[in-house]
Amino acid sequence: MAFPIAQRGLLAALILAGVASAVSGSIDPYFLDVVMGVGVSVVLASSLNLINGFTGQFSLGHAGFMALGAYTSAMLSTVVAPRLGWSPALLQWVFFPFSLLVGGLLAAAAGLAVGAPSLRLKGDYLAIVTLGFGEIIRVILQNVDAVGGARGLTGVPTHTNLFWTFGSAALTVYTVWALLNSTHGRGFLAVADDEVAAEAMGLDTTRYKITAFGIGSFFAGIAGGLKGYLNPGGFSFDKSIEIVVMVILGGMGRHAGVVFAAILLTLLPEGLRELGSRSVPNPFGGAAWSLEWIKDMRMILYSLLLILLMLMRPQGLFHRGERRRQRT
């Protein structure tokens, strides 16, 4: 079959996700949870990369869109799904993707609503508006009893599996990649590089910004739906920051770099946790040295690492040379 390379990559990723999902029964549940978390992070980081990296906007509210998608699909699963009387397989393979899609569309609608003010606001002001929007969503979710209030939604049936998380991750990366490499997609880069020049060339910069917000939020909504457990605290400002850090460490506007950074930053805390439960043999004989302290220190190490990286490699971990002209 004459598929272009990117489509082949997507197909291979989907097949791989399907195979991995088929054998997932024999994987340790904790490990499976971590691996699925990686998939969700990839979706989040790649979609934010479209907004913050490629289009040059600055959103600090990605967690808010994620929350919208998460609650929508969870409500569909708890309220609508039981009334259908479908078999578990049908729920997992037909209803779940449908609920993800609805969650994504709702988040996209919200993204479009936030994209509209971005016509007038730039830089820090845009950042604070998106931050405010994310916080508003969280506070509302925390106070509406129908969705569990501050306790969060409990008893949500989990339909997430490796296929859906990695399939979505592959689809997100592919969509962002294909979009940026289309004729239409060059416009996003132009908006990021020099908005005034782009406008002078006859590009509708407004439309590009809004499109970026819409598509980015759509995938954030899907990522929310993929996350199994829900409490409003999980969608706070800190979560948005975490995603922004992934995008920046990956090198803003790099496809592979951001995916790697998402994987790395999701595995790093888990890796340090694991390391903390081990001990190293004492070279001088005697009792082995416990690495217990790492458990306490892992968040400190994480933040120190972040600062050191910014001081030494501010262009991101995976940035090779200059691809685009730096703006002054």
Partner 1 sequence: MTEFLQQLLNGVLLGAIYALIALGYTMVYGVLRFINFAHSDVFMLGAFVAWYSVEKLGLPTQSIGGGLMALLLSMSVCAVLGVVIEKLAYKPLRQRSTLTVLITAIGVSLLIQNVAQNSRLGFGPNPKAFPALFPSQQLHFGTLTVSTHQLVVLAVALSLLGLLYWIVHHTRIGTAMRALSFNATAASLVGINNDRIISFTFGLGSALAGAGGVLYAMNYPSIDPLMGTLPGLKAFVAAVLGGIGNLPGAALGGLLIGLVETFVSGTRLSTFRDAIAFGILIAILLFRPAGLLGKLKVEKV
Q: What residue ranges bind partner 1 (CB under 8 A)?
A: 58, 117, 120-121, 123-125, 127-129, 131-133, 135-136, 139-140, 142-143, 196, 200, 237, 241, 244-245, 248, 252, 296-297, 299-300, 302-304, 306-307, 310-311, 314, 326-327
Q: Given the complex with partner 1, which of 132 and 157 has the nearer CB atom? A: 132
**Smallest distance from the beta carbon of 89 to partner 1, in angstroms?**
40
3-state secondary structure the chain: CCCCHHHHHHHHHHHHHHHHHHCHHHCCHHHHHHHHHHHHHHHHHHHHHHHHHHCCCCCCCHHHHHHHHHHHHHHHHHHHHHHHCCCHHHHHHHHHHHHHHHHHHHHHHHHHHHHCHHHCCCHHHHHHHHHHHHHHHHHHHHHCHHHCHHHCCCCCCCCCCHHHHHHHHHHHHHHHHHHHCCCCCHHHHHHHHCHHHHHHCCCCHHHHHHHHHHHHHHHHHHHHHHCCCCCHHHHCHHHHHHHHHHHHHCCCCCHHHHHHHHHHHHHHHHHHHHHHCCEECCCCCCCCEECHHHHHHHHHHHHHHHHHHHHHCCCCCCCCCCCCCCCC
| Pairwise CA distance, residues 107 & 224, whole Å | 10
Q: Given the complex with partner 1, which of 79 and 136 has the nearer CB atom? A: 136
Q: Given the complex with partner 1, which of 156 and 245 has the nearer CB atom? A: 245
Q: Given the complex with partner 1, which of 177 and 237 has the nearer CB atom? A: 237
**Smallest distance from the beta carbon of 104 to partner 1, in angstroms?**
23
Of residues 181, 238, 203, the one with CA closest to residue 54: 181
**Smallest distance from the beta carbon of 48 to partner 1, in angstroms?**
13
Q: Given the complex with partner 1, which of 91 and 247 has the nearer CB atom? A: 247
Q: Given the complex with partner 1, which of 31 and 125 has the nearer CB atom? A: 125
Q: Given the complex with partner 1, which of 8 and 320 has the nearer CB atom? A: 320
**Smallest distance from the beta carbon of 24 to partner 1, in angstroms?**
33
**Smallest distance from the beta carbon of 238 to partner 1, in angstroms?**
9
**Smallest distance from the beta carbon of 239 to partner 1, in angstroms?**
13
**Smallest distance from the beta carbon of 155 to partner 1, in angstroms?**
23
